Structure 1
């Protein structure tokens, strides 16, 4: 038999209990009695066939399963809020609203510079730039939550159209006064004695870095693991160690007293704009693509060709 569908009220109750970490506070927020709330939670547990909460030292403690469910509930809740904003925007007749997504590598440097170019060119309208993890890109496009996504992640899907923006290699980012900061390039083997701040092998950055290390025959020894580019750069700024990033993420790092040195024999990392083939591609996407390529061309002059714009359609 199919699993019975969860009711919206059940999910709301679970979310509030998780957020408040207290039956008393949750009951007050929901406007129900605590005994009725306890009954509702017990019914949800019976329906799912798992325990969601336990008590340790008199405190309500969510189980591991509850934590995982809560992550999914919050993700869907955020998407529902985005959808609500879009609907109200359309209802107000704001046809010039342009909503798009970006993953951190492109969103931190290239996107702000591209939007500045559009602004200087007189492009009017309201922009919504959503920061996305790679796993959400497909749903974001297929369900129409945004018009396009700028990212370094490849997407292999027949209903997603991909436009290449630029190519770049990997760079080692370090404090500006680091002993290697003046080098023209660095091999992975030369970083063996450094405290490496890096990414897991299943992440987009991790895959690119591991392939570059394989090319050189070196072994990657990561001392500090991070999930986000911003964290890696923050740790370098605090002189904890060095990190390896795509050159897009390292744009303007000198302003934070850091240096970016190219990794020798690096794999090529591409910046893309993905759109859905199921929907018309508005002119605003073309404008964004042109602006991103213009920025990449400008940065190519500053990075001695580490970043190269792609002009293919």
Structure 2
């Protein structure tokens, strides 16, 4: 048996034969001929020192070792297939690819509408959306987004950051809750009320905690969830009340969620990140314009509902 490593061409021939089931189909997929594929498979078997196929009734039947090898080859090709697929998308895109990284609170509220408006104006545009925190990336690990949507303010030097809009947190409850009859709510209104919090590290949970601590109000800290959407679902089930961002809250109003102004008012900041060392995508400015207008519309809705 040779000690030399097998080459990529041999791996491709083996993979194609396993994938398509016959030498003829493998040859067609690789743009080769049947005799060439047969000859190369025979050389591969001699090279590695064990048979990969049994010849039965003019057909190739994979051996047990061939099946195990194929699993490993497939795993190795996943990354290459993803790269090739991305290249195809880049080539087929009539204009450019805009990549957006967004916290779920925005990806599930204002971002879809902004993309719909952008697509209407630029139907040839290709977009990619990932619901991850853009702040978890850095210039060291490598940015993979053109626009990042985050809550709060970002002050690192590796990305340009600007505040897109400042909203106010709102109190939420089911329609049959006693607090639903109030015009607005203050900390003392939550005394001994079941309260559903955001995650322990959420910056807006911490700001709300400070308000209640200063008011010396004791709530029943019944549940907590990392997701504002999950909090809304729990509130709708009658499990408690909460204080969250108004964008997510508004999206649940049609399901029966009641929103109330909370005093003292607590800011909810929506910021945009743009990596400094990443090429600028022209359509990113258009998307930000749509996002800004949608935020203005949401703000107007909140004002009309006496929530800001």
In 2, the alpha carbon distance for the partners of 1:82 and 1:256 equals: 39
In 1, the alpha carbon distance for the partners of 2:215 and 2:122 equals: 47
The equivalent position to 2:68 in structure 1, one of 4, 9, 31, is: 31
User: Which consecutive residues of structure 2, in runs of 5 or more, have no partner in the other structure?
Assistant: 1-63, 70-77
Q: For the aligned residues, what is the CA RMSD?
A: 3.4
Q: TM-score, normalising length from structure 1?
A: 0.65
> Which is greater in Rg?
2
Cα deviation, 1:52-105, whole Å, max 9, x if unaligned, reads xxxxxxxxxxxxxxxxxxxxxxxxxx9999877645433545542211111022
- Alpha-carbon distance change, 243 to 117 in structure 1, aligned in 2, over 3 angstroms: same
Shift of 1:303: 0.8
1:180 aligns with 2:166: no
State the partner residue of 2:163.
164
State the partner residue of 2:237.
238
Query: Which residues in structure 2 correspond to 1:284-295 (within 5 Å)?
Result: 284-295=283-294
State the partner residue of 2:103.
103
- Alpha-carbon distance change, 191 to 84 in structure 1, aligned in 2, over 3 angstroms: farther
Q: Check the 8 A contact 1:148/1:274 in 2, yes or no.
A: yes
In 2, the alpha carbon distance for the partners of 1:300 and 1:167 equals: 9
In 1, the alpha carbon distance for the partners of 2:284 and 2:102 equals: 13
Shift of 1:220: 5.4
- Alpha-carbon distance change, 275 to 145 in structure 1, aligned in 2, over 3 angstroms: same
- Alpha-carbon distance change, 263 to 87 in structure 1, aligned in 2, over 3 angstroms: farther
1:251 aligns with 2:250: yes
Shift of 1:150: 0.9
Query: Which residues in structure 2 correspond to 1:1-313 (within 5 Å)?
Result: 31=68, 86-92=86-92, 95-133=95-133, 136=136, 138-139=137-138, 143-214=142-213, 216-219=215-218, 221-304=220-303
- Alpha-carbon distance change, 140 to 185 in structure 1, aligned in 2, over 3 angstroms: farther
Q: TM-score, normalising length from structure 2?
A: 0.66
Q: Check the 8 A contact 2:204/2:268 in 1, yes or no.
A: no
SS at match of 2:101: strand
Q: Check the 8 A contact 2:165/2:271 in 1, yes or no.
A: yes
SS at match of 1:281: coil
- Alpha-carbon distance change, 238 to 122 in structure 1, aligned in 2, over 3 angstroms: same
In 2, the alpha carbon distance for the partners of 1:141 and 1:268 equals: 31
- Alpha-carbon distance change, 261 to 122 in structure 1, aligned in 2, over 3 angstroms: same
State the partner residue of 2:53.
none
Q: Check the 8 A contact 1:215/1:265 in 2, yes or no.
A: no
